[in-house]
Chain A
Amino acid sequence: MAHHGDHTHDAAHDGHDDHDHKPSGFFERWFCGTNHKDIGTLYLVFSLIMFLVGGSMALVIRAELFQPGMQLVEPDFFNSMTTMHALVMIFGAVMPAFVGLANWMIPMMIGAPDMALPRMNNWSFWIMPFAFALLLSTLFMDGGGPAGGWTLYPPLSIQGGNNVAFVIFAVHMMGISSIMGAINIIATILNLRAPGMDLLKMPVFVWTWLITAFLLIAVMPVLAGSVTMLLTDKYFGTTFFSAAGGGDPVMFQHIFWFFGHPEVYIMILPAFGVASEIIPTFSRKPLFGYQAMVYATASIAFLSFIVWAHHMFTVGMPLGGLIFFMYATMLIAIPTGVKVFNWVATMWRGSMSFETPMLFAVGFVILFTIGGFSGLMLAIVPADFQYHDTYFVVAHFHYVLVTGAIFSIMGAVYYWLPKWTGRMYNETLGKVHFWLSTITVNILFFPQHFLGLAGMPRRIPDYNVAFADFNMISSIGGFAFGLSQLLFAWIIIDVCFLKRGQKATAGVWEGARGLEWTLSSPAPYHSFSTPPKIDDRMLAHGDVAH
């Protein structure tokens, strides 16, 4: 990259394409390229495709549940839809979207030219399409796709046919991809910060990703280990999880959730980071309690390692275990509360405007908090004995993941799209998309609280007629929410391919602070070839001394 040394990519740089030295051919650029922006784009496009694939599986589920009685699919196929929907959404939509955002934004936010390990970056992306090709191919095999739930609990999960081997191999590949992505992010943040960009000056989005990356490295190998034991139990005669051979099916659940709970935070910490970028910008006010935000994120990450068994309160744990995991889980409410209070305090006495990114950020804070409340309720063991494995849980985690993680991703896309493409998206359509999504997602998921409380178990393809009304409402909301997302796809196509919309300025948003806004829009192909000067007043958390 030495030949770029003559460029200074500062605010004045206009990003002429002929100065960018993009790889010439389509194949060279998109398949062999190592540019952090191109790889970020690949991740985001992949994630959008998986979001639509996983979403159509959800629509199969909601269509079958529209009325009592079996109308459309066999129970086995229904189960593989719930299983695949979760795997595709978690590993294919939410995680790659955040990795895509990290790829695009972290170098620009810390004043780096690119990611620290660009070649590995290319590899960690290109594993994903193959992993998902393997995973999705199981739907077309004899015996169908995996139908034992995304949690893969044995003995049920290994009753499946050869899809088991495919799923496990796909999970291994996704794990390798995630670990490499995480290593890259850590290496970039720790080594490529511009001089003066101290750790405690980094944008909160960068902080949340740094912590998330450590979580990924800690738990993805645990997931790999647990599924490998499933594999050997099925094909090589081991009995890790079979009581008949001296094993224990509950041990799988412990290992799985030791991965699974930090995984939950892997999907939500970067969302916290996004909200912490967007809210100050549109409040035109520094982020309230920057350091408290960082420490709260770190404590949530720490606590995430000691609460895993709250996913399995009904397995028959000793009383002491139940009490420990209940108390530890309740503790998470404190740092999470600090974050929510800090966002509200950031808005307080600000000068707010409500462009689409801000709408999504506010929607995120409110609806994620509702998911947090139901999470707190689920932590209370005796009450969880009723809630567990019902639609109450389904409502809970969809509030956290859809109106939490995915709303923040959408907010981030609207927030940074002008920086990525150099053009403003259609603001009216963006607002319509927000309101359609917010109204329909609540029609979709809020009634599921009632269904769960009334006694409807999750993962059932048919139900008693008492549950019919709320299921029908939920399904209508589901289809409306799904269709609303086509508008999101259209808005992106409109900007990226049809190149409509006003040209964006470098700052894009009036209140935007941070290094990424000092680069031209669209951002130059290589971010900061010479390190920028760090001006504290240009950072998102403002001119505040620590």
Chain B
Amino acid sequence: MKRLLGQLVVPALTLLVAGGAFANPEPWQLNMTPGVTATSQDVYQLHMLILWICVFIGIAVFGAMFYAMFKFRKSKGAVAARFSHNTTAEVIWTTIPILILLGMAYPATRTLVRMADTGNAELTVKITGYQWKWRYEYLGEDVKFMSSLARAADEARQLGSGIDPHSVENYLLDVDRPLVIPTGTKVRFVITADDVIHAWWVPSLGWKQDAIPGFINEAWTQVDEPGVYRGQCAELCGKDHGFMPIVVVAKPRAEFDAWLAGQKAAQMPAGAVAASAPTATSSGI
């Protein structure tokens, strides 16, 4: 019991106090991650703004309701009034919401415009969704590879495997080969799919984007904090939709350059890794 309480209360309090400064899902997490990019933080602020507006409106409306329900009860001898109109009240409760909506629309539009600007990226990665794995291609760098669910989780997730998911680290959120990106760099993603629609989502980056066969979507990110950020496919894509995670490793520029050079060296001679993978039905980039 004590353990349970500790499990329950301590993390919940930490989350409430810290506002949830975590990159990957935590037990008892209550709120959206603020993420690790300027965009994700804007999105988080926007989320908190609307959330608080809703909470305050809720307190006002439900407060009035509960006051009425306790005060104006027949059992307490309340006698019903006969009014059924009040123009002043009706004008007020139509106008105030309009102003509140304008107050939300402005920051939302500003953030949205910034998110849509994929220009001036230093690096472009092409992401292709497959049933049920991801393919990453560093455009112009001749580096490409597939990224699928890590072996340990794949074994544990089989029906009746007898393996406790708690014993598998990052269960269903780990891959064999993560996407590596440099920190402090604007990275552009071009996103498509080969078979059905998927969606590429890493909560810490602040957005998800559908991967649609035959079409190219664009998005971008700039991660400043080195780290490992996890996500999953977010669009139902068939039986193993729940089993195609995404892992992004952000490395300082120098480390990233070294990693990329290593990948090139490994893939150049025989194209050992990439050749086994089907190439995307390229509708051109």
Contact = CB atoms under 8 A, between A and B. Distances in A.
B209 A314 contact: yes
Contacts of A341: 61, 89-90, 93
B84 A249 contact: no
B32 interface: yes
A93 interface: no
Contacts of B172: 462-464
Interface string A443-458: 0000000100111111
B94 interface: yes
Contacts of B173: 464
Given A314-B208, A351-B74, A389-B235, A453 B29 contact: yes
Q: On chain A, which size bracket covers the interface? A: 35 or more
A351 B27 contact: no
Contact of A70 (B47, B101, B158, B164): B158
Interface residues of B, number: 102
Nearest to A380: B108
A334 B96 CA distance: 9
Interface in A57-74: 68-74
B270 interface: no
A464 B231 contact: no
Contacts of A453: 29-32
Contacts of A469: 7-8, 27-28
Contacts of A79: 236, 238-239, 241
Contact of B79 (A148, A351, A365, A369): A351
A198 interface: no
B108 A326 contact: yes
A316 B25 contact: no
B281 A244 contact: yes
A332 to B, nearest CB: 10
Interface stretch (A5-13, A152-160, A499-507, A521-529): A152-160
A155 B238 CA distance: 10
A464 B116 contact: no
Contacts of B27: 465-466, 468-469
A366 interface: yes
A369 to B, nearest CB: 7
Nearest to A449: B30
Contact of B74 (A242, A284, A383): A284
B197 A153 contact: yes
Interface in B69-112: 69, 72-75, 78-86, 89-90, 93-94, 97-98, 101, 104-105, 108-109, 111-112
Interface in B112-155: 112-113, 115-116
A331 B217 CA distance: 28
A356 to B, nearest CB: 15
B143 to A, nearest CB: 25
Given A244-B214, A390-B234, A344 B43 contact: no
A352 interface: yes
Interface stretch (B199-207, B259-267, B271-279): B199-207
Nearest to A390: B234
Interface stretch (A44-52, A216-224, A256-264, A288-296): A288-296
Contacts of B197: 153, 155-156, 249
B115 A382 contact: yes
Nearest to A343: B65
Interface in A245-273: 248-250
Contact of A292 (B33, B68, B90): B90
Interface in A403-462: 450, 453-462
A389 B199 contact: yes
Given A290-B84, A454-B25, A315 B210 contact: yes
Nearest to B201: A457
B118 to A, nearest CB: 11
B80 A283 contact: yes
A303 interface: no
Contacts of B210: 314-316
B29 A466 contact: yes
Contacts of A248: 214-215
Given A75-B239, A454-B30, A249 B166 contact: no
B225 interface: no
Contacts of A283: 72, 80
Contact of B85 (A72, A289, A458): A289
Contacts of B164: 69
Nearest to A82: B236
B81 A350 contact: yes
B97 A323 contact: no
B178 interface: no
A292 B50 CA distance: 26
Contacts of B72: 283, 347-352
A382 B157 contact: no
A159 B131 CA distance: 12
A316 to B, nearest CB: 4
B182 interface: no
Interface in A345-379: 345, 347-354, 362, 365-366, 369-370, 373-374, 376-377
Contacts of B50: 376-377, 380, 383
B6 interface: no
Contacts of A351: 72-74, 78-80
Contacts of A388: 199, 208, 234
Interface of A: 68-76, 79, 147-149, 153, 155-156, 159, 242-244, 248-250, 283-290, 292, 314-316, 319, 322-323, 326-327, 330-331, 333-334, 337-338, 340-341, 344-345, 347-354, 362, 365-366, 369-370, 373-374, 376-377, 380-383, 385-386, 388-390, 450, 453-470, 511, 541-544
Given A75-B240, A314-B207, 19 more contacts: A68-B171, A69-B157, A153-B236, A249-B197, A314-B209, A315-B210, A315-B217, A323-B109, A350-B68, A380-B104, A381-B112, A382-B42, A383-B50, A462-B172, A462-B242, A466-B26, A469-B8, A469-B27, A469-B28
Per CB-CB distance, the 8 closest pairs between chain A and chain B, nearest first, are A243-B214, A460-B242, A316-B217, A454-B29, A466-B25, A373-B54, A385-B207, A351-B80
21 contacts: A69-B164, A71-B159, A74-B239, A76-B239, A249-B215, A285-B82, A316-B217, A319-B112, A326-B108, A334-B101, A344-B68, A370-B58, A380-B47, A381-B108, A382-B46, A382-B206, A383-B46, A386-B207, A389-B236, A454-B33, A466-B26
